[in-house]
Amino acid sequence: MIADFGNEINLPRLLEATDDPNEFAKVFDIIKKGIQNNVFKINIYNPDNSFRSIITDGIDFPIDLTISNCGTLYVNNSIFDGKFDTIFGFPIPNITLDFDLEVYNRSQGYDSENPLLICPSDITADVDSGKN
């Protein structure tokens, strides 16, 4: 699996932009437009590196991916909103940045062998809205 950020943005550029307000304003605008246009996605490949499918539903800006030992995909999905105003030539942020943990269950229909899975029992946690 690979997070695809399109042609205009990459994660190192985003991380480096945090030290430069002008660059961050540019990156923020690219990401916001990319989310609105459904540009960002997760590409899924077969073990032989051939392309299999794409996940786009519910994906805003997937900055981290991990797979559990039971085959569940966890996506740390960032959500950018707002805008930068310019005052005296300087970008002033009026933005929100939020994170969602999205969970995608593994589809065994892609497997050529039955998996041997030893999974822990479910873990449930209650969280207040805005605190997840």
pLDDT in tens, 19-74: 888 888 888 888 888 888 888 888 888 888 888 888 888 788 888 888 887 778 88
The band of 131, judged by pLDDT with boundaries at 50, 70 and 90, is: low
**pLDDT tens per residue across span 87-100:** 787 777 787 888 88
Whole-number Å distance between alpha carbons of 107 and 52: 12
Parent domain of 81:
2-110
Q: pTM surpassing 0.75?
A: no
Number of domains, the chain = 1
Whether 109 shows a pLDDT value over 60: the answer reads: no
DSSP β-bridge partners for residue 103: 74
Q: Per the domain annotation, does 59 fall within a domain?
A: yes
DSSP β-bridge partners for residue 101: 76
Radius of gyration of the chain measured on its C-alpha atoms: 18
Q: Per the domain annotation, does 86 fall within a domain?
A: yes
Q: Per the domain annotation, does 12 fall within a domain?
A: yes
Q: Per the domain annotation, does 7 fall within a domain?
A: yes
Q: Per the domain annotation, does 119 fall within a domain?
A: no
112 vs 97, more confident: 97
Listed in sequence order, the DSSP H helices in the chain are 11-17, 21-36
